[in-house]
Amino acid sequence: VYKAHDKLLERNVALTVLHPHYGDDTEYVERFRREARAVAPLSHPNIVTVIDRGEAGGHQFIVFELIDGENLKELVNRTGPLPVRRAVELAVAVADGLAFAHEHGLVHRDVKPQNVLLNGDGEAKVTDFGIARSLDVEHGVTQTGTVLGTSNYLSPEQASGKQVTPATDVYSLGVVL
């Protein structure tokens, strides 16, 4: 992920480039493209906005709004445990973003502190829908039986390779809290 400048719109953006090592792996490329397609229609104050997706010089990229701040893990590492009120405020904001994604048929599947970005005002925004799964897809890139996500935050159904639901993200958010 790079901080970049959009010359056309004169603004800074976050540019995520698929590592060249994965550029020849059709599954990784499709997952990367799917992240952009899945999140692009999600316009919510607690979800990082996708601006564009493309390919240049054989490199796949996604352009996101730039969140100029730190992630939740960095905050907790820097300050220690958060006051209960602040932790609950952040959890509610993340839950609002996830609920919006769920209403639009997406389960994040990798809710963890590193995927909660805090902007300059300290507001939470969910990012990295790279392994999100559509609730209405039966035969997508990732199938039931495939375990994806960060082990410390996995729900029991995810850890056992079973079908994910919005409850998967709620469980992971509970672990984060």
| Active-site hit among 25, 52, 110, 128 | 110
Q: Is 6 a catalytic residue?
A: no
Instruction: Say how far apart CA 71 and CA 36 lie, in whole Å.
Output: 20
Active site residues: 110
